Amino acid sequence: MLLIDKLCYYSKLRYINAGEKFLYSIITIAACIISRSLIIALLVFTVNTVLTVAIAGISKKRYRNLMLIPVAFLILSTLAVIVNLSRTPMDAFAIPVGNFYITGSFSSVFFGIQLMATALAAVSSLYFLSLNTPMPDILMVLSKLHCPAMISELMLLIYRFIFVLLEAAVSIMISQKSRLGYKDYKTSLKSFGSMISVLFIRAMKRSNALYDAMESRCYDGAIHVLNETSKPNKKEITAIVFFTAVLAVLTILKKSELIW
């Protein structure tokens, strides 16, 4: 079982109505993307962190480590926005390299920071949903939104096979390491290629076995999963509506250029 899957089953917000969590995540992501506001991004990130760490009970260390994963990609992509190669130095910084300058303007630096903050806030909203809502509950919400059944079933099967293949990959790698399969670069490439080929064969065999098991249990073209979620709560819905109103007001102020 993946770490994120374990955390969502131990979360104190697990039994909160899945529709409410899904709605909150979509609203906050939409607010971040539409507004592109630094203030809204910081507000959304802070609220999501409090909900996930302080209320849901996810450890600070694990949450920090999960957030560091997208940060590495965001830094590299943001540098492409901030840094320019030009013959003319800009106002923020300028590092001479021959006849050119590695340079950037204050506007590009601010835009890069704003872009990174928006992306992190949106990621924190996705983490809030995934760390507090089991996959079957998310699929239940999608079915109520009339998402095609085929897409939901494919999502469920793919999600299940992630665990199956990861478990098999870990077992194979442990076996290979015990036989010095990663002692040097050449051997590592050979071992990795062997592992991929074995995983492909096992995936085909397990998919056939899974289909046979489903057929033996009267599979009729639809996968039915039990859901453990509570009914909507008025206080929680009121809190979501209030926070949505705050985000809407801040978005209007941002579009009017009254805030960052």
Q: Which residue's entry shows tokens 């819905």?
A: 237
AA letter at 4: I
pLDDT at 45: 94
CB atoms within 10 A of CB 151: 12
Residues 137 and 134: their CA atoms lie apart, in Å, by 6
Residues 76 and 98: their CA atoms lie apart, in Å, by 24
Is the separation of the CB atoms in 103 and 94 below 8 Å? yes
What b-and-e string marks burial along 108-131, b requiring 16 or more CB atoms within 10 Å of the CB? bbeebbbbbbbbbbbbbbebbbbb
Is the separation of the CB atoms in 229 and 13 below 8 Å? no
Instruction: Give SS3 for 217.
Output: coil
CB atoms within 10 A of CB 72: 9
**DSSP designation for 138:** H
Nearest to 250, CA basis, from 50, 37, 45: 37
Instruction: Give SS3 for 212.
Output: helix
Number of H helices, E strands in the chain: 9, 3
Look up the pTM and report it: 0.79
Q: Inter-axis angle of helices 18-35 and 234-255, to 10 degrees?
A: 10
**DSSP designation for 221:** S
Domain boundaries, the chain: 1-133+230-260, 135-227
Residue 104 CB burial class (10 angstroms; 0-12, 13-18, ≥19) = buried
pLDDT at 2: 66
pLDDT at 1: 53
Residues 225 and 161: their CA atoms lie apart, in Å, by 16
Nearest to 169, CA basis, from 188, 149, 187, 196: 196
**pLDDT one digit per residue (tens) for the chain, 260 residues:** 567 778 888 888 888 898 999 999 999 999 999 988 889 999 999 999 999 999 998 889 888 988 888 888 888 888 878 887 777 777 777 788 877 877 878 888 888 888 889 999 999 999 999 899 888 888 888 888 888 888 887 887 787 777 778 778 888 888 888 888 888 888 888 888 888 888 888 888 887 887 788 778 777 767 766 666 678 889 999 999 999 999 999 988 888 877 77
Is the separation of the CB atoms in 168 and 205 below 8 Å? no
pLDDT at 229: 67
Q: CA 171, 164, 150: angle at the middle one, nearest 5?
A: 160
Is the separation of the CB atoms in 63 and 126 below 8 Å? no
pLDDT at 166: 79
Contacts of residue 63, defined as CB under 8 A and 6 or more positions apart, other chains included, come to 49, 52, 53, 127, 131
Q: Which residue's entry shows tokens 């104190």?
A: 12
